Structure 1
Amino acid sequence: MNHDPHALRALLGDDAGLCHRAITGEHGVSLPPFTDHHVHLHLIDESRLASGGIAGVVDLGGDPVALARRENHSIPRVAYAGAFLTAPGGYPVGRSWAPAEIAREISDPSTHPGVPGSAATAVDEQASFGASVIKASLNSAAGPVLDPATLSAVVEVARERGLPVIAHAEGEGMPRLAFEAGVSGFAHTPFSEYVGRAFIAHAAAAGHVWISTLAIHRDDAEAAEFARVNLAGFAAAGGRVLYGTDLGNGEQPVGVNAEEVSALDRAGVRGAALIRAMSDPWPFAEPPSGVRTFVPGPPPGQLDEVAEWLRGATVVPTEELVHDDH
């Protein structure tokens, strides 16, 4: 195993360091705090996140009232979109896991405040309840989707409020519809088709963020390959990749998901790039304060060991860690 701090930083990035816990004396590696950029808090036990290595989350679909009223624990730090904004009868309306409170059906592209059922009213509601991002639903495989004018209105109003719009783009042509409307990125790496090099280059140049969620396709080989190839291209083009699991969707560990980490590795997001994707503070500018991700035991010696090694991650106060680098 590698105990050379310089080799460790070469493997995992400049913010990785050998350390020990002051109270227990346990040795390990200190990393920047991790964020899962796609969760649904109403479907999980968030109290288990920190012990599983996750210091921050982005809720991408929940009841905006409940999210605004939740107890403000320091960890996990929570950003949220509030409700899915969707077409009348569109996804996720009617899903068993989706109570009515987590969706807003938009029937009017108006950008004027206060118009019932309008784009502006839906965006303003989420903003008023503290949303840091807006989630637009474009799932043509599950029902009607927002038309281009309405989606563009959502993006326009959100931009005026200083909020990025992230799209759930599922179905052929949906990523392009979202891109042309000016969204800031995708809640899932596009998985319904190969989006192509030109699209990927334009998305990377536009500053898109793509949230990975690769492991949710474990039972759909075609979708998994579409997502892997698309994300590999986006990462290679310099795109901003964010680690995200869609936690709450099926059986997943509440904490670092080694299967997601392995899928990112297979898409070429490895080593320091992987740690950047996991510790990116988006949609905030700064990471969660006062904490670090700590992985006990010997550090990995090579890239192929990182995914399994990260299963042991936990969140600890920064003041508890004593650096051993020389």
Structure 2
Amino acid sequence: MDAITGATALLGQFLTPVPDAVVTLSDGRIAAAGPSSSVQIPPTASVFDASGMTLVPGFIDCHVHIGFYDPRSLLVNGVTTARDLAWPPHLIWPLVESSRAPESGPLLLAAGQMLTAPGGYPMRAAWAPRATGRVVASPGDAKQAVAEQADRGASVIKVALNPDVGPTLGRSTLEAIVAAARERGLGVTGHVAGIDELVKALDAGMDELAHMLMGSDAIPTELIERMVSQEMAVVPTLSVLNGAGLRKAVANLEAFLGAGGKVVYGTDLGNSGPRPGIDRREVTEMERAGMTPRDIVAAATRDAARHLGLHDRGVIAEGMVADLVALDREQLERARDLVRVGAVWRQGISARGGPGRN
């Protein structure tokens, strides 16, 4: 058994700050968590002194393209679970399989290929290897396209609705994709640009925006309210944006949050901008949109885990998977404090840090 002592830990479903906490780990799970006065440390336990640190659940990045990086570079920088949102089948599924080993990097979930219209994004995108996208030519092809991803192990279906770089899926085809995904118990996320495509996504019943709306459009209040009422989640990926597009995305995110919208952390790692791990620019732009450091932690841990259906992780509580990050800050006062990663555990195995704090 291992024990982490001395930290201020954000415990339980409410991420309650508990000073001088003790968290014990056994067989990849959290055995106990609470104030030092209430948790006994077995005499044979290996103890990590986290005094002066804040212990949080491992971060979950809900939007990566993992093939551009060594997965371990995410893990050692605080991301213990990641979801890949478009990569060729022959490349992504072996990575998903190997991610079951906690030393390999974060636990990986994946969408498989991005479903798109003939000639649509990302078929000619410079960043995308061949077979990153899968053309869906008609409503009749939707069920087969979804089945191909689901049969390989997809945790979500991703679609492209970006008219700025090519044709987009028609309404009937998109609706057929969503229906086929529902039959397989899967949600649908999307790369969506522009108000018209957002309306199409809402009409079809999509579950998530894989970016805050791409482009420089302000989302009207009535659409913000509709997104919230339909429980559409947003993965902001603000760190890939610049200039007017970034300013508008931050304003849209602020309005969405103000209306009670669900936000989960994601960076679009693999695109220009984000760095592996907890990304400084992403969290500081989320802060600009009105989120506190604890709000951001919630979006990247508890809320992300719930959104992805990972009910055994995302909070520090007895019985949960021991995915943990110790931050080199006793109090989280600003978003930038979240990138001060001092130690990381995945399934109770140390990926960074230790008694000597490397």
TM-score under structure 1 length normalisation = 0.86
Alpha-carbon spacing, 1:76–1:320, altered in 2? closer, same or farther (3 Å): closer
SS at 2:340's partner residue?
helix
User: Are residues 1:77 and 2:107 paired?
Assistant: yes
- Name the residue aligned to 1:316: 345
- Name the residue aligned to 2:221: 197
Q: Is the 8 A contact 2:157 2:189 kept in 1?
A: yes
Work out the CA distance in 1 between the residues paired with 2:275 and 2:342.
12
User: Are residues 1:57 and 2:90 paired?
Assistant: no
SS at 1:243's partner residue?
coil
Amino acid at match of 2:113: A
Q: Is the 8 A contact 2:156 2:186 kept in 1?
A: yes
The alpha-carbon deviation at position 290 of structure 1 amounts to 2.1
User: Are residues 1:306 and 2:332 paired?
Assistant: no
User: Are residues 1:295 and 2:327 paired?
Assistant: yes
1:228-267 matches, within 5 Å, as 228-267=250-289
The alpha-carbon deviation at position 269 of structure 1 amounts to 1.8
Work out the CA distance in 2 between the residues paired with 1:261 and 1:14.
20
1:117-128 matches, within 5 Å, as 118-128=141-151
Alpha-carbon spacing, 1:17–1:173, altered in 2? closer, same or farther (3 Å): farther
Structure 2 portions without partners, runs of 5+: 1-5, 24-45, 315-320, 351-358
**Residue by residue, what CA displacement relative to the aligned partner does 1:124-177 show, whole Å, maximum 9, x if unpaired?**
000011000000001100000001010010001001111000010013422111
SS at 2:284's partner residue?
helix
Relative contact order, higher structure (CA 8 A, sep 6+): 1
- Name the residue aligned to 1:113: none
SS at 1:201's partner residue?
helix
RMSD: 2.6
SS at 2:199's partner residue?
helix
Work out the CA distance in 2 between the residues paired with 1:44 and 1:138.
26
SS at 2:16's partner residue?
coil
1:172-187 matches, within 5 Å, as 172-187=195-210
The alpha-carbon deviation at position 20 of structure 1 amounts to 7.7
Alpha-carbon spacing, 1:201–1:312, altered in 2? closer, same or farther (3 Å): same
Q: Is the 8 A contact 1:179 1:203 kept in 2?
A: yes
The alpha-carbon deviation at position 64 of structure 1 amounts to 2.5
Structure 1 window deviating more from structure 2 (190-199 vs 286-295): it is 286-295
Structure 1 portions without partners, runs of 5+: 111-117, 322-326
- Name the residue aligned to 1:114: none
Q: Is the 8 A contact 1:42 1:62 kept in 2?
A: yes
Work out the CA distance in 2 between the residues paired with 1:76 and 1:127.
21
- Name the residue aligned to 1:91: 121
The alpha-carbon deviation at position 191 of structure 1 amounts to 3.3
Work out the CA distance in 1 between the residues paired with 2:346 and 2:134.
39
| Equivalent position to 2:244, from 190, 197, 222 | 222
User: Are residues 1:106 and 2:132 paired?
Assistant: no
- Name the residue aligned to 1:208: 232
Work out the CA distance in 2 between the residues paired with 1:132 and 1:227.
26
| Equivalent position to 1:159, from 169, 178, 182 | 182
Work out the CA distance in 1 between the residues paired with 2:54 and 2:111.
33
User: Are residues 1:144 and 2:167 paired?
Assistant: yes
Amino acid at match of 2:331: P
Structure 1 window deviating more from structure 2 (238-247 vs 92-101): it is 92-101
Alpha-carbon spacing, 1:87–1:307, altered in 2? closer, same or farther (3 Å): same
SS at 1:91's partner residue?
coil
1:278-293 matches, within 5 Å, as 278-279=300-301, 280-281=304-305, 282-286=307-311, 287=313, 289-293=321-325
Q: Is the 8 A contact 2:8 2:17 kept in 1?
A: no
The alpha-carbon deviation at position 55 of structure 1 amounts to 0.5
Aligned residue pairs total 305
Q: Is the 8 A contact 1:30 1:293 kept in 2?
A: yes
Q: Is the 8 A contact 1:50 1:314 kept in 2?
A: no
Q: Is the 8 A contact 1:91 1:143 kept in 2?
A: yes
Work out the CA distance in 2 between the residues paired with 1:290 and 1:317.
6
- Name the residue aligned to 2:15: 13
Work out the CA distance in 2 between the residues paired with 1:24 and 1:5.
14
Work out the CA distance in 1 between the residues paired with 2:20 and 2:116.
47
- Name the residue aligned to 1:272: 294
The alpha-carbon deviation at position 13 of structure 1 amounts to 3.3
The alpha-carbon deviation at position 225 of structure 1 amounts to 1.6
The percentage of aligned residue pairs carrying the same residue is: 30
